[in-house]
Structure 1
């Protein structure tokens, strides 16, 4: 099996689209910390960025 794109490159390529959707959903601008891979200063947007798990699953 040939891997076309390394996982980190794929993640960083998809993140702007995901952040744009979260910004549109929340109605506000986001500050992205690329080194930590997290949204800075917005707990609601950070919650949306994380995985949505069905009960009884949790992390």
Structure 2
């Protein structure tokens, strides 16, 4: 279960993954892996936004 207390962790992970996805030295398979994880994390952060946990 993801609660209000977990929101900062998910937000930080989303920011980190977005930064890593833009790294020009990242290999294509590495970028794909980062983008897949980023999509998963964004599903969670969007749900937290929808619930009003994240402004």
Tell me which interval the TM-score lies in, with the shorter structure as reference length.
0.3 to 0.5
Structure with the higher strand share, 1 or 2: 1
Q: Per chain length, whose mean CA-contact separation is higher, i.e. which structure has more relative contact order (CA < 8 Å, sep 6+)?
A: 2
Identify the structure with the greater helix proportion.
2
Give 1 or 2 for the bigger CA radius of gyration: 1
**TM-score, normalised relative to structure 2:** 0.35
TM-score normalised according to structure 1 size: 0.33
